[in-house]
A and B are shown apart, each in its own frame.
Chain A
Amino acid sequence: MVNLIWVGLFVISILYAMFNGTMEEVNKAIFSGAEEAVAVCIGLLSVLVFWLGLMRIAQNAGLLTSISKVFKPIAVKLFPEVPPDHPAMGYILSNMIANMFGLGNAATPMGIKAMEELKRLNNMRDNASRSMVTLLALNTSSLTLIPTSVIAIRMKYGSVSPAEIIGTTIAATICSTIGAIIIDRTFNRR
């Protein structure tokens, strides 16, 4: 699907430019776009390194483990088919917490581990169980509390207040996560 969109953008642009005489602008845009992309990555670098460095300290200090205790009752409610002390529950919690702190790279392996355990609970069948769909819904709606890369981009383009979008982001995230849980429950009840 991404391949189709990507090629489509180019084909449509070039055809449109041929008929409307904007080829000159298109030529310039190729180079300015590439330059801009590199500049964005460099802008992201400083913030990503600093934030992930700080988060690693928090992780090694056991902060994430203690936070996960707070969220356990919620996770137990969301995954009624998973026994509370099953290893799957531990991985689900780690995955949720890592997502919240914007640690995508730490969240993914935990999510995959959780999926493996859930598959075991589902007698190794190759269809998605109810808990798997719930876990997926939680991840796609993204529980992010601090959108690191967005803040970095806003800083790069001279925002007066780069972090001002945290409030609206959290509000929208909560809506989409609750929405995901409700939609998931509605489908599963049938």
Chain B
Amino acid sequence: MPTYESFVEGGKEGLSIAISIVPYLIGMMVAISVFRASGAMAFVSDLLKAPLDMIGVPTEIVPLALIRPISGTGALAMTTDIIRTYGPDSFLGRLASTMQGSTDTTLYILTVYFGAVGIKRMGNALKVGLLADLVGIIAAIVFVTIVFG
């Protein structure tokens, strides 16, 4: 059993993933840092704060929840930004980590899987995927609040 060779072979795949996401991550992280630094993010957060507070959702998590089904690297950049700003062991850091890990990028999967085999009429796929994302996001908030809140 060639354990070492297998390890190296799999490791190469990890290397190519890490390198291939560099441009995506730079693009998204610059956009998000600029949005935060300009003060626009704080402005939007303030607008949403009152209604979200009532249902117990932290405002800072909203941009991540919105981008998660649309762009995988965008969400990764957003998660990184939240962890960097609020700390990995803060409530927001843990919530962002859980949300990032527990759902996948619906639009990407839809495009790749159906695109590859030429499905033109998607049926309920988009609706099911997005509703499942919503379930995942709510579940993440609930579980993180119970375990770490």
Contact = CB atoms under 8 A, between A and B. Distances in A.
B111 to A, nearest CB: 11
Interface in A131-170: 132-133, 135-137, 139-142, 144, 147, 149-150, 153-154, 157-162, 164-165, 167-170
A137 B123 CA distance: 12
Given A16-B43, A48-B14, A115-B113, A141 B136 contact: yes
A183 B40 CA distance: 36
Which DSSP category, helix, strand, loop or mixed, fits chain A's interface? helix
Contact of B14 (A30, A51, A60, A172): A51
A9 B78 CA distance: 13
Given A50-B14, A128-B125, A144-B101, A116 B117 contact: yes
B87 A53 contact: no
B34 A57 contact: no
B97 A169 contact: yes
A41 B10 contact: no
A137 B88 contact: no
A57 B11 CA distance: 10
Given A37-B29, A56-B6, A157-B88, A179 B136 contact: yes
Contacts of A147: 97, 100-102
A154 B89 CA distance: 8
A41 B22 contact: yes
A73 interface: no
Interface size class of chain B, counting residues whose CB lies under 8 Å from the partner chain = 35 or more
Contacts of A136: 109-110, 113-114, 125, 128-129
B18 A48 contact: yes
A157 B105 CA distance: 24
Interface string A53-70: 111110111000000000
Contact of B74 (A2, A30, A108, A159): A2
B40 A41 contact: no
A98 interface: no
Contacts of A176: 102-103, 132-133, 135-136, 139
B23 to A, nearest CB: 9
16 contacts: A12-B38, A28-B37, A29-B30, A33-B31, A33-B34, A44-B18, A49-B14, A53-B10, A105-B13, A137-B129, A140-B104, A147-B100, A157-B88, A172-B140, A173-B136, A175-B139
Interface of B: 1-3, 6-15, 17-19, 21-22, 25-40, 43, 67, 69-71, 74, 76-77, 79-80, 83-84, 87-89, 93-94, 97-107, 109-110, 112-114, 116-125, 127-129, 131-133, 135-136, 139-140, 143-144, 147-148
Which 4 interchain pairs have the tightest Cβ spacing?
A: A56-B10, A147-B101, A176-B136, A33-B33
